[in-house]
Amino acid sequence: MKFVTKVILIAGLSYIAEQFFPWWSVVICAFLVNVLLPTKGFNAFISGFLGVGLLWLVFAWMIDSNTGSILTEKIAQLFELNQSGLVVAATGLVGGITGGFAALTGNVLRTINRKEPVKPGYYK
Amino acid sequence: MKIFGFVISLIITLALTIALSVKIGSVPPLGYFLDPFHGFWQNAESEEPYIDPTLAASVLQPVEVVYDSLLIPHIFAENEYDLYWAQGYVQASHRLWQMEFVTHVAAGRVSEIVGERALEFDRAQRRKGLTFAAENSWKQVQKNDTARQMLEAYSDGINAYIENLTYQDYPVEYKLLNYQPEPWHPLKSSLLLKYMADYLAGGDEDVENTNGLKLFGKESMDRYFPVFLPGREPVIPTEYDWPFEATPIDTPRVTYRDNTLYTETIEEPNPDNGSNNWAVSGSRTQSGNPLLANDPHLGLDLPSIWYLVQLKAPGVNVFGATLPGSPGVVIGFNDSIAWGVTNARRDVKDWYKITFTNDTKDEYEFGSRRLKTQQRIESIKIRGADTFYDTVIYTHYGPVVYDQSFPKESSTTVPLNYAMKWVAHDPSEEVITFYELNRARNYEDYVEALGHYRSPAQNFAFASTSGDIAMWVQGAFPVKWRGQGRYLMDGGRPEQEWKVLIPYDHNAHILNPERGFVSSANQVPVDTTYPYYIYDHSYEHFRNRRINNQLSRTRQATPRQMMELQNDVYNQMAADILPMMLDSLDLSVLSPEGRDMYDILRRWNYQNTIGQAAPAAFRAWWRALRTEIWDEFTAEEITLDLPTNAATIYIMQQFPNDTIFDSKQTSSQETLNDLIQESFQKAQTKIQDWEEEQGQTIHWGDYKSTSIQHMLQLEPFSVKNLPVGGGRSIVSANSERHGASWKMIVELSEAVQAWGVYPGGQSGNPGSYFYTNMVDAWAKGEYFPIKFYQYPEDNPTTVMARQTIQPSSAD
pLDDT band at B525 (very low <50, low <70, confident <90, very high): very high
Residue B793 has pLDDT above 70, yes or no: yes
Residue A73 with chain B: CB contacts under 8 Å: 716
Q: What is the rounded average pLDDT of the residues B618-623? A: 97
Residue B463 has pLDDT above 80, yes or no: yes
A21 part of contact set with chain B, CB < 8 Å = no
Interface of B with A in 38-67 (CB under 8 A): 38-41, 43-47
Residue B688 has pLDDT above 70, yes or no: yes
**pLDDT at residue B268, as a whole number:** 83
Residue B423 has pLDDT above 50, yes or no: yes
Q: What is chain B's mean pLDDT, rounded?
A: 95
State how far the Cα of B237 lies from the Cα of B311, in Å rounded to an integer: 36
Residue A117 has pLDDT above 60, yes or no: no
| ipTM over 0.90 threshold | yes
CB of B177 within 8 A of CB of B102?
A: no
A102 part of contact set with chain B, CB < 8 Å = yes
CB of A84 within 8 A of CB of A76?
A: yes
How close A119 comes to chain B (CA, Å)?
18
Of A24, A66, A105, the CB nearest to B9: A105
Is the Cβ pair B46, A68 closer than 8 Å? yes
How close A4 comes to chain B (CA, Å)?
22
Is the Cβ pair B44, A64 closer than 8 Å? yes
State how far the Cα of B224 lies from the Cα of B557, in Å rounded to an integer: 39
**pLDDT at residue A121, as a whole number:** 65
pLDDT band at A119 (very low <50, low <70, confident <90, very high): low
Structure pTM? Answer: 0.95
Q: Which residue has the higher pLDDT, B778 or B49?
A: B778
Is the Cβ pair A24, B38 closer than 8 Å? no
In the sheet that B301-302 helps form, which strands lie side by side, from edge to edge? B301-302, B706-710, B719-722
How close B70 comes to chain A (CA, Å)?
18
Test mutation, B37, B40, B713, B768, chain A, max A CBs within 10 A: B37
The tens digit of pLDDT for each residue in B124-179 reads 999 999 999 999 999 999 999 999 999 999 999 999 999 999 999 999 999 999 99
Residue A114 has pLDDT above 70, yes or no: no
State how far the Cα of B126 lies from the Cα of B405, in Å rounded to an integer: 14
pLDDT band at B811 (very low <50, low <70, confident <90, very high): very low
Question: Residue type for B376, please?
Answer: R
- DSSP string of B617-640? HHHHHHHHHHHHHTHHHHSSSS--
Is the Cβ pair B766, A73 closer than 8 Å? no
**pLDDT at residue A123, as a whole number:** 59
Q: What is the rounded average pLDDT of the residues A71-93? A: 95
- DSSP string of B136-177? HHHHHHHTSHHHHHHHHHHHHHHHHHHHT--GGGS-HHHHHH
Interface of B with A in 749-768 (CB under 8 A): 766-768
- The 3-state DSSP class for residue B419 equals strand
A70 part of contact set with chain B, CB < 8 Å = yes
Instruction: Provide, rounded to the nearest whole percent, the portion of chain A with pLDDT above 90.
Output: 71
Residue B532 has pLDDT above 90, yes or no: yes
Cα–Cα separations (whole angstroms), residue B783 to B28, B564, B571, B754: 39, 11, 23, 10
The tens digit of pLDDT for each residue in B236-287 reads 998 889 999 999 888 888 877 777 888 888 888 887 778 999 999 999 999 9
**pLDDT at residue A118, as a whole number:** 56
Which residues are within 8 A (CB) of B336 and not within 5 positions of it... i.e. 6 or more apart? B440, B441, B442, B464, B465, B466, B752
Is the Cβ pair A90, B34 closer than 8 Å? yes
Closest residue in B to A89 (Cα) is B34
Of A22, A90, A105, the CB nearest to B6: A105
Q: What is the rounded average pLDDT of the residues B360-385? A: 96
CB of B314 within 8 A of CB of B60?
A: no
- DSSP string of B252-297? --------------PPPPPTT-EEEEEEE-GGGBSSSS-EEEEEEE
pLDDT band at B662 (very low <50, low <70, confident <90, very high): confident
A75 part of contact set with chain B, CB < 8 Å = yes
- DSSP string of B215-242? HHHHHHHHHHS-SS-TT---SS-TT---
**pLDDT at residue B412, as a whole number:** 84
Q: How many CB pairs under 8 A join A and B?
A: 113
**pLDDT at residue B140, as a whole number:** 96
The tens digit of pLDDT for each residue in B67-110 reads 999 999 999 999 999 999 999 999 999 999 999 999 999 999 99
- The 3-state DSSP class for residue B586 equals coil
How close B93 comes to chain A (CA, Å)?
18
Residue B19 with chain A: CB contacts under 8 Å: none
Is the Cβ pair B715, A77 closer than 8 Å? yes
Q: What angle do CA B13, B17, B22 make, to 5 degrees?
A: 150
CB of B515 within 8 A of CB of B244?
A: no
pLDDT band at B418 (very low <50, low <70, confident <90, very high): very high
Of A68, A95, A105, the CB nearest to B47: A68
B20 part of contact set with chain A, CB < 8 Å = yes
